[in-house]
Structure 1
Amino acid sequence: MMDQPSERSRLIAAIYAVAHDPARLLLLRPSLALLADKGVLHDPSADLAFHFEQADRLLAESGAAGAGATQHAAPKDIILDGRLVLQVPSAALSNVRPGDFLPDETWQADRGGKDRDIVKAVSAGLQEQAIISLSLDGDEQRPILHLVFRTPGRSETVTLRPIPLRWDRDSAARFADDFALTGAEQAILREVLERGSLRLLAEERGTSLGTVRNQLKRLLAKLSLGSQGELIALYGGYREVHKLRPEGLPKEVQGSSQGSFLLGGIDVRVEFYGPATGRPVLYFHPLFGGPFLPEETVEAFVAAGLRIIAPWRPYCGRTAEEGSGVPMAREFARRCAQLLDILGVERVTALAASGGTAFALAFAQNHSELCRKVVIAGPAIPIATDADLAQLGLGHRLPLQLARRLPAAMRLYVRAVVAKIRKGLDANYLDTFFRDAPADHAFAARPAIREFLRTAMLEIFQHGFRAATEELELYAIDWSELAESIEVPVTILRGVDDKLANRDLADSFAARHGFRVLKSIPDSGSFLVFQDTGRVVSQLDGDLAE
């Protein structure tokens, strides 16, 4: 039971705040974690399920986490005459009426005169088009780039159209590397580009607005810039110059390819890495990273002569009904066996990472004739009791607690996370998720890896977020029956910093089922398959000398 009515009221308000703005999910997480640990989420008298269900419905109806959600609203054009007087109402200037001049504060203090002259020149036909910067966000004073061009069909009239910018995959890593930006500086740049709310960023970080503003000032000084407008212009120009390839994950790295197979009546995408003649490895992928591999990981597998076969797990990138829980894992194992038959592969080594663990064990259990052995690089462990659950890191523990105690809250949580990813706020989410796992936090903070993870999650969740909710529901139950009576060798590798499976949980799980656990690997966590690929390759190839 909640001790104070105000505590319940604050929580309910926070729930609906997430429905309004998924970015506020991180402000709700501490309260959820506290209440989950206290058992309140399991208390029917608290009646929280209703509010989570309502908030989930509102968020779904908003389209923020839907497959077709867009990141930018329709352009808010501003139409001026040659005197810089507003000609028609504009949603971008709610306090300015037609016939009024644009307020002085709309123009940037450091270049307002120059931008006024540019607009007049375009109006008079002396210049075809140009880019200027305007401030339209009230006290945040976030400058927005606008394209200036003559309004079709109206003489001596110009249209100012906002240019949406975002921290995209291709230019982000290059920009961060070329200008030596820290993780905090990248977060501030993304905030300036996409939301423009330094106040909300400060709230999510649990720090003061003054601190974030000082960080912005230091960033501007580091880049020898005088304003946010110049920062946006710098990134905008850099992005256009360095936008060298289309959006999406690289598909031509070291013989990588993709196929689609009809398995058990379901169209399943499969990623392939390495030469077709390589020794086959069936990869049961995690959600973080999905069926994709960073380039350096692919290179390590290829150098070892391996052929990675990575079928997309249930509900990843598709909407077909594929069941739930243990039956879902077993049915996917059956489809994997069918895939190998189509490919003409007689036997494979199974490789699993975190959330792929249950699926790999289901394959080994039900299709031992096709499986030489199983290597689990960063395991997920069956959670039988609340005491087991309490041993997980907060990032992993909270969604599982919600799945066990209040599924409606779990669905809202996942929907909000996906909405944050689609809005480009994945960096903030990953920073918080891995806050108590230094090795994973440092790995995910690398610009190239961060963009790799974001791209993978966008592709996995492109048709919805059921892949995440089904994984949470599976791992929130005791699924240890999938680990019973496995006839092939199973080896578990875990990083010292793995908060999904600590040493006690891994050792206990292995002892119950006759699996082998190797000595914990330093400087690694739940991203072990990427962090120490060489160690994983050694196990896939043969025994590792301990």
Structure 2
Amino acid sequence: MTTPPPARPGEKERAAPDNPMRLLDLLDSAYAAPNEPERFDELMEAAKRYFFKTGGEELAADIPHAVEFDGRLAPHIDRIQSMLDATSLAPAGRSASAYGRFTLAAGGRVIEGNEAASRYFSARFPCDLTALDLDPASRKRLSAALADKSSGEEPIIIRLEGQEQPNTAIALCRRTGEGAGARLECSLSHVVWTDELVSAVGEALGLSEAEAGVLSGLLRGLSHAEIAEERGRAADTVKAQAKSILRKSGAERMSDVIHLATSVAFLLKTAQRDPAASASARPAAASEERRFKAANGRIVSYYAYGAKRGAPVLYFHGSLQGPFFLNSFVNGLNDLGATLYGPSRPGFGGTDPARKGESYDGATVSDIAEICVREKLDDILLLVQQGGVSHAYRAAATLGERVKGMIMVGGGVPIDEAAHLPTMDRYTRIAAAAVKHAPAVMELITRIAISVFKRRGYRRFLEDYFAGSPADLAALSDPELYAIMERGLDHLIAHGPKTFVSDGAAQMADWREDFERVKARAFWLHAEDDPILPARFVQEWVRARTNHPVETAPEGGYNFIHRRSDLVLATIEEALAW
């Protein structure tokens, strides 16, 4: 049986749980799960026994002091991570990400990458660039892009050809850092661009047949001159058609078009594979990702949806789904003349984690403030999903009178552990207890969970997560909504498990003071079948402190903002007139 390591010389002996067998049971399950993914459920049961009394609802008496023992888990986390790194990366279900992602560092070293990239290149990361299944010309192009400072942080496109296998892919790359700290962050788009698929993507983007032909060449990494020669057209004609593609897709750069086209292609393929896919299913809503370097040097990513320069709506995403929406919702924003800005919080998606020594909450609010300045936002409506609520109130307290009002969709309230935890689903209850009282345990569980569900496939994770919510299980059969769920999970784990821990701790913190500082008008929408926090707790808490309306609706579940987007849009329309 695994035992905790002894205290280091000179280190004060830390308190152990009242029942150390619970911790040992948890660690034994944690050591078993990396090599036996089917035992992940045993780990979750061990975590429930560790945090809660028999019955699994009331916190164990010693848990409020568990953080005193937290630091002693670091060696275990390191060992288990080594086990996770050594396990096979081949998943049993769908790839965790439709995109391979990898990072090339100075000296020709690929320092990290996801499982999709590992499978594509037949390599394990970290490794030398020469270990990747690429022909010499492709390696040279990647090395040259890493060395080229002139591109700044603008994305560039590189065509990659396999050496052993006849694979062709497009890599969208962004260079960051200087000298020994230089990095080339690459997103790998591997699609066999058949005429049928290009035609379908062109139709989804509203392109003419001629423009779709030009797009086909761009997707295969051809230059304007090469496309002109291949199609027997003048170079100026091809350039004009390329400009038309940019305009129709709503993108500023051709790299954004390729990223968008690949997203559409992957979704079309998913819909074809999914037996529950509807013939009328549409690809996920097109969005424009914007990035900038913040004042503290971090890269901040956010998305823009809806009308161009319309009435500003600032979105605060929940943990699992990120700032992504259905086509019908985006069309509704357009109809309302509203522009929704959806930032990725620190450590989510394309946004860098908070710097060492910088608070997570401080980085979140600072990013929001910089976005508002860059986009010249005023009279702002805040749209808030689930756990984004604490962040929204912190930001609103800082933005002050620039906030027009707030709409909470499934938004929580400051957590009362005794009252709220027993009503939560298993995953949420364990996470809520862990991020507050034992963040190292939460990090350990999250690391294992990420590895296990990458191998099992995200659908299996979502089926397990939504097991107690009929509305959400039904939502899995909607290919457009399912694609948003997968994209949201990728968005969550983009920078590893620490983001989940930091964000969860911010949600579990006492943010009542921020709530009381905000005087803006607000409206609360909550699903009657919300699996995270029952509507009655929200109604009681909000009505005891404000005159904010709290309305409920049936059959919304966890995915309320998507399943009942009609109600959300109607509320936005009303709020824009406040």
TM range (shorter): 0.5 to 0.7
Corresponding residue number in structure 2 for 1:363: 395
Corresponding residue number in structure 1 for 2:555: 523
Deviation per residue, 1:140-195 (Å, 9 max, x gap): xxxxxxxxxxxxxxxxxxxxxxxxxxxx7552332223789xxxxxxxxxxxxxxx
Q: Cα 1:175–1:281, aligned 2, differ >3 Å: closer, same or farther?
A: same
Deviation per residue, 1:335-376 (Å, 9 max, x gap): 323322221222210001012111111122221221100001
Q: Cα 1:367–1:52, aligned 2, differ >3 Å: closer, same or farther?
A: same
Does 1:391 find its partner at 2:423? yes
Q: Cα 1:543–1:272, aligned 2, differ >3 Å: closer, same or farther?
A: closer
Q: Per-residue deviation at 1:494?
A: 0.3
Does 1:274 find its partner at 2:306? yes
1-structure distance, mates of 2:64, 2:519: 43
Corresponding residue number in structure 2 for 1:454: 486
Equivalent residues of 1:41, 1:406 under 8 A apart = no
Aligned residues: 384
Equivalent residues of 1:324, 1:474 under 8 A apart = no
Equivalent residues of 2:271, 2:479 under 8 A apart = yes
Equivalent residues of 1:438, 1:497 under 8 A apart = no
Corresponding residue number in structure 2 for 1:15: 30
Q: Cα 1:383–1:465, aligned 2, differ >3 Å: closer, same or farther?
A: same
1-structure distance, mates of 2:308, 2:565: 20
Equivalent residues of 2:443, 2:501 under 8 A apart = yes
Correspondence list, 1:309-328, <5 A: 309-317=341-349, 318-322=351-355, 328=360
Percent identity, aligned pairs only, is 18
Does 1:60 find its partner at 2:81? yes
Of the three residues 171, 178, 182, the one matched with 2:269 is 171
Gaps of 5+ in 1: 77-128, 130-167, 181-248
Equivalent residues of 1:19, 1:55 under 8 A apart = no
Q: Which amino acid aligns with 1:68?
A: G
Equivalent residues of 1:395, 1:432 under 8 A apart = no
Equivalent residues of 1:290, 1:456 under 8 A apart = yes
Q: Cα 1:484–1:4, aligned 2, differ >3 Å: closer, same or farther?
A: closer
- Comparing 481-490 with 39-48, which one deviates more in the overlay? 39-48
2-structure distance, mates of 1:22, 1:53: 22
Correspondence list, 1:124-273, <5 A: 170-177=268-275, 253=285, 256-265=287-296, 266-273=298-305
> Counterpart of 1:379 in 2: which secondary structure?
coil
Q: Per-residue deviation at 1:271?
A: 0.4
2-structure distance, mates of 1:48, 1:377: 37
> Counterpart of 1:466 in 2: which secondary structure?
helix
Q: Which amino acid aligns with 1:28?
A: L
Q: Cα 1:31–1:176, aligned 2, differ >3 Å: closer, same or farther?
A: same
Deviation per residue, 1:485-534 (Å, 9 max, x gap): 21111211100111222123202321343152433111112322111111
Corresponding residue number in structure 1 for 2:115: 70
> Counterpart of 1:419 in 2: which secondary structure?
helix
Does 1:30 find its partner at 2:45? yes
Q: Which amino acid aligns with 2:354?
A: E
Equivalent residues of 2:304, 2:340 under 8 A apart = yes
Deviation per residue, 1:387-421 (Å, 9 max, x gap): 33223222211111122332222111111222234
1-structure distance, mates of 2:455, 2:475: 22
Gaps of 5+ in 2: 1-16, 54-59, 90-110, 124-165, 167-265
> Counterpart of 1:409 in 2: which secondary structure?
helix
2-structure distance, mates of 1:515, 1:378: 18
Q: Cα 1:75–1:341, aligned 2, differ >3 Å: closer, same or farther?
A: closer
Q: Per-residue deviation at 1:33?
A: 1.6
2-structure distance, mates of 1:275, 1:463: 31
Equivalent residues of 2:31, 2:80 under 8 A apart = no
> Counterpart of 1:382 in 2: which secondary structure?
coil
Q: Per-residue deviation at 1:308?
A: 0.7
Does 1:500 find its partner at 2:532? yes
Corresponding residue number in structure 2 for 1:487: 519
Q: Cα 1:507–1:324, aligned 2, differ >3 Å: closer, same or farther?
A: farther
Corresponding residue number in structure 1 for 2:442: 410
2-structure distance, mates of 1:32, 1:350: 36
Corresponding residue number in structure 2 for 1:400: 432
Equivalent residues of 1:53, 1:409 under 8 A apart = no
Corresponding residue number in structure 1 for 2:237: none
> Please, what TM-score do these two structures have when normalized by structure 1?
0.62
1-structure distance, mates of 2:65, 2:365: 37
2-structure distance, mates of 1:291, 1:438: 24
Equivalent residues of 2:305, 2:341 under 8 A apart = yes
Does 1:534 find its partner at 2:549? no
> Counterpart of 2:392 in 1: which secondary structure?
helix
Q: Cα 1:178–1:380, aligned 2, differ >3 Å: closer, same or farther?
A: closer
Corresponding residue number in structure 2 for 1:374: 406
> Please, what TM-score do these two structures have when normalized by structure 2?
0.59
Corresponding residue number in structure 2 for 1:155: none
Deviation per residue, 1:15-34 (Å, 9 max, x gap): 20124355632232123223
Deviation per residue, 1:287-344 (Å, 9 max, x gap): 222122232322232233221111111211344425799x533542343233222212
Q: Which amino acid aligns with 1:260?
A: R
Q: Cα 1:452–1:24, aligned 2, differ >3 Å: closer, same or farther?
A: farther
2-structure distance, mates of 1:173, 1:57: 39
- The CA RMSD over aligned residues, in Å, is 3.7
Highest Rg: 1 or 2?
A: 1
Q: Cα 1:427–1:527, aligned 2, differ >3 Å: closer, same or farther?
A: same
> Counterpart of 1:450 in 2: which secondary structure?
helix
- Comparing 259-268 with 36-45, which one deviates more in the overlay? 36-45
Q: Cα 1:305–1:16, aligned 2, differ >3 Å: closer, same or farther?
A: same
Q: Per-residue deviation at 1:278?
A: 2.2
Equivalent residues of 1:257, 1:273 under 8 A apart = yes
